[in-house]
Amino acid sequence: MSLPPVLTQHIARRPQRIALLQHIAEQGSITRAAKAAGISYKAAWDAIDELNNLASQPLVKRSTGGRGGGGAHLSPEGERVLRLYQRLQALQAQILDAAEESGDLDLLGRLMLRTSARNQLQGQVSGLRPEGRYDRVSLALGGGLEIDALITHDSTARLELTPGTMVVALLKAGWVRLLAQEEEAERGSNCLNATVEEVLAEDDGPSEVRLALGNGQTLCAIAEAQWLAGQQVAVGSSVRVQFHPSYVLIGIPA
């Protein structure tokens, strides 16, 4: 079974994040793996969320009650990806030797996309229909979940989107809004059920809420601590989130 194209390209572009898998396999803990990798606990989970969302199956599984803030281990898919990364490491020296000029690798780096969007979800185009100046693109995320994006006709043509195209949906955390218990979702917006996995409170600002979707992917939202307390939102809470299709950006492997 081959890896999704977006994950294969991610391995080539962001090897330090894939290397985190090796630390998890060795340490059995996110906290200790983050320390070994020289990054924060939050940065480690951000990387894991991104990898799990881009893969066809979760690469890392978390367990409670472990030493150092909870245990973690690689899934069989994660072990397979780690083996692939190790093979890529063996080829790295050959690639460096093949560069004709010292600036070649810098040029390639500039041509490869990095994004500030906190949420990156892999999906497949399941529908396309025009709506005025825009196209509504339906994306199947797996597990029966589907979201819509609104993009221009030119964007649809430029990305060569057709039913079945694999894409990455990009969504900033600030565009994901948690709904109050009795609040109805805005008509035409995407609305998903989720479970609160972690709340990262900030002393001088809103809290970051990490959400688990039913298909194993994750979302990150931003919410005021006072609102979360008023709605009794805590780890394990079932919540609904919404975001407008116009906020969903679509990317494809270059």
Listing DSSP states for the chain in one string gives -PPPHHHHHHHHH-HHHHHHHHHHHHHSBHHHHHHHHTS-HHHHHHHHHHHHHHSSS-SEEEETT-TTTSEEEE-HHHHHHHHHHHHHHHHHHHHHHH-SSTTHHHHHHHHS-----SEEEEEEEEEEEEETTEEEEEEEEETTEEEEEEEEHHHHHHTT--TT-EEEEEE-GGG-EEPPTTPPPPTTSEEEEEEEEEEEEETTEEEEEEEEETTS-EEEEEE-HHHHHHTT--TT-EEEEEE-GGG-EEE---
Dihedral sign, Cα of residue 215, residue 45, residue 75, residue 248 = positive
Asked whether residue 111 carries a pLDDT value surpassing 50, the answer given is no
Which residue in 170, 15, 194 sits closest to 96, CA to CA?
15
pLDDT band at 242 (very low <50, low <70, confident <90, very high): very high
The model's pLDDT over 3-58, given as tens digits with 9 standing for 90+, comes to 555 555 555 555 677 778 888 999 888 889 988 888 888 888 888 888 888 787 88
Q: Establish if 115 belongs to a structural domain.
A: no
CB atoms within 10 A of CB 74: 19
To the question of pTM greater than 0.85 for the whole model, the response is: no
According to the model, what pLDDT value does residue 66 have?
Answer: 45
What backbone torsions phi and psi does residue 115 show, to the nearest 5 degrees? -135, 150
Q: Establish if 146 belongs to a structural domain.
A: yes
* Position with higher pLDDT, 95 vs 221: 221
Q: Establish if 148 belongs to a structural domain.
A: yes
What is the residue range of 154's domain?
123-165
| Residues 243 and 216 occupy one common structural domain | yes
The model's pLDDT over 144-168, given as tens digits with 9 standing for 90+, comes to 999 999 999 999 998 899 999 989 8
| Residues 91 and 15 occupy one common structural domain | yes
Q: Establish if 254 belongs to a structural domain.
A: no
Number of domains in the chain: 3
| Residues 244 and 182 occupy one common structural domain | yes
| Residues 23 and 92 occupy one common structural domain | yes
Q: Establish if 80 belongs to a structural domain.
A: yes
Q: Establish if 114 belongs to a structural domain.
A: no
Q: Establish if 103 belongs to a structural domain.
A: no
Which CATH number belongs to the domain containing residue 92 in this structure?
A: 1.10.10.10
